[in-house]
Amino acid sequence: MDDNALIPHLFRTEYRNIVSVLSYLFGIQHIEVAEDLVSDTFLTATEHWSLHGVPDNPTAWLYTVAKNKTRNYLKRNTLFEQRLSPELRYTAEKAEELDLDLSVKNIADSQLAMMFTICNPVNSGESQVALALNLLCGFGTQEIADAFLTNKEVIYKRLSRAKEKLKEANIRIEQPTLTEINARLSTVLTTLYLLFSEGYYSTSQNTTLRKGLCAEAMRLCALLIDNAITNKPPVNALLALMCFHASRFDARVDEHGDSILYQDQDVTLWNRELIDRGTYFLNAASTGTEVTRYHLEAGIAYWHTQREDTAEKWENILSLYNDLLILEYSPIAALNRTFALSKAHGKEVAIVEAEKLKLTTNPFYYSLLGNLYTGIDNGLALQHFEKAASLSTSVADKATLQRTIARLPESQ
């Protein structure tokens, strides 16, 4: 890797590791101390490497510097003597004995503990995702702002408020017990689902950033699977869902970053390896008796990776949507279910069901109606597509709708 790209790469991969270990050591009340020590470590690396060159093992070099800076900080600051809990208290003498454990296992354990700390309902889902991006994924405030399509100051305030809420609630950073996992795993999975969705359904034109968000969500989900106590069927179902969606990532956008509709995607661009991985995790999710939204959505996503446009495919997708709407209703799921209905039983049947939804402020509602009326009443289809374009706030979606309108046959 080019030396100019090395530090940004290491900052992304190692910042999160060292911050997690230090935060696990110091506790939530001193999370800024952990962040400052790691930032200072990377500043030292930038200065030293620019003068002396990159060391043979840059990761080991960073870990050594982080350990030394932590020892020096503990020796200088009586704060930790006075305020940390007894098991984490280090006197000036004991600081020399500190051997910061940056082993692969301890990093994984620390990230798991941080995951259950960050994904706490004292904060909104949006704030949980921002914290996860910052502390678990190593994203800077500008990158998070780009992901949320907002400015750096908004994200900085959001992160600061979220951390303060965790402190006020005196949330401990610790390995989750089986009881805590059963109580809070759902919240953790929701945060990872939102994190993945922020990348997969983002209106940002930055494809690299969007892929990065999806990859981080998948990495954290895999971390849960790698730990025996969090390797639960819903976790496998969520990772299966992510794999299936990610497998079609490159086929969903063209070279200009504009969206490509499912029926227009180049299936040769679908990633077979990710489809196979998704199938593996979906099979692993089939144990037990619990069926979650992730099981059903993963099943739907699986059938969307099957290239043949068969009746069996759409009947299965329709059946899964029926179950999903019973389990957890959402307008988008209802719209998608109606599209599956049109593929399984024809557009006329689907139009009747679609118009019952009356989602008159939703651009996807009118886009669906435009699709359903195409070939039946192209004049009405045009009206619906134009309405969808007027309601859409996404530049990419507007461009897709304009291309659809341009291809629409003139009404007879």
Confidence of residue 288 (pLDDT cuts 50, 70, 90): confident
* Residue 55 predicted with pLDDT over 80: yes
Token code pair at residue 351: 């139009």
CA–CA separation, 224 vs 235, rounded Å?
A: 7
CA–CA separation, 37 vs 62, rounded Å?
A: 11
* Backbone phi, psi, residue 204, to 5°: -65, 140
Residue 79 has a pLDDT of 56
Residue 60 has a pLDDT of 93
* Residue 9 predicted with pLDDT over 70: yes
* Residue 219 predicted with pLDDT over 60: yes
* Residue 225 predicted with pLDDT over 60: yes
Min mean pLDDT across 100-114, 184-198, 199-213 is at 199-213
* Of 332 and 203, the one with more pLDDT: 332
Min mean pLDDT across 96-110, 237-251, 386-400 is at 96-110
Confidence of residue 253 (pLDDT cuts 50, 70, 90): confident
Element (H, E) at 56: none
C-alpha pair distances (Å), 125 with each of 132, 200, 241, 325? 10, 17, 20, 22
Burial class (CB in 10 A: 0-12, 13-18, 19+), 248: buried
* Of 77 and 129, the one with more pLDDT: 129
Per-residue pLDDT, averaged over 156-162, amounts to: 96
Burial class (CB in 10 A: 0-12, 13-18, 19+), 266: exposed
Provide the sign of the torsion angle of the four alpha carbons 192, 223, 170, 93, taken in this order.
negative
Return mean pLDDT, the chain.
89
* Residue 82 predicted with pLDDT over 60: no
Cα Rg for the chain, rounded, in angstroms? 25
* Residue 397 predicted with pLDDT over 70: yes
